[in-house]
Amino acid sequence: MDDYEFVFVPSIVNIDGNIEGLGIYSKESLAFDALKKKISENWSSGYKEAQLVMWTLDSDDSKAVPLKHMSANVCPICDERTFWTDAVELNALCYLPACQAWIESSDKEMDKIDCGWPPIGYTSQVDTLADALSSLRNYGAKIRASVADDSDIFTHRTLLEEYEKSIEEDSTSNLEE
């Protein structure tokens, strides 16, 4: 039998404040996978917070170490309450399968934030978390304004590509003047 020094405990909180434990794991990756699976499969179930903590075994320390503390927010792209922001790691992901907008610290440039929306291949690098949210909100607003009833992602992609092209053409013509 393996000797474990730590255990990892994921949990999720519903709208009423009830905490639901999701097990006890010997590896952080297994615990986080269980948490992501719960959020992904139940994105519309009314959860408001989730966390992953690490406990030291055989210790009199009564405090868990928070590894993730996530809260559900309205997604800046799809406008659903499926955008989970992690206050510990300062990243975010929309768990709505058709959206999956994201924000994370840049792995290429220190002190930069990357954000994006996979269905159209949109990515941006900004200076702050607020700038990342603003960038995604702008794209979300353009999508919602361009198609009132149509939820076809290919229509969204085409409209956004046309919009981006028009911005490039405008900036090129302004430089020539």
More confident residue, 117 or 120: 117
Residues 121 and 157 in one domain: yes
Looking at the predicted structure, is the pLDDT value of residue 175 above 70?
A: no
Looking at the predicted structure, is the pLDDT value of residue 163 above 90?
A: no
In angstroms, rounded to a whole number, what is the distance separating the alpha carbons of residues 102 and 66?
Answer: 22
Residues 41 and 88 in one domain: no
Domain boundary among the residues 73, 102, 132 is at 73
More confident residue, 10 or 175: 10
Residues 175 and 152 in one domain: yes
Pick from 23-37, 42-56, 91-105, 149-163: least confident: 149-163
In angstroms, rounded to a whole number, what is the distance separating the alpha carbons of residues 6 and 26?
Answer: 7
In angstroms, rounded to a whole number, what is the distance separating the alpha carbons of residues 167 and 169?
Answer: 5
Is residue 52 within 8 A of residue 67, CB to CB? The reply is: yes
CA dihedral 41, 44, 47, 50 (to 10 degrees): 40
pLDDT tens track for 16-43: 999 999 999 999 999 999 999 998 888 7
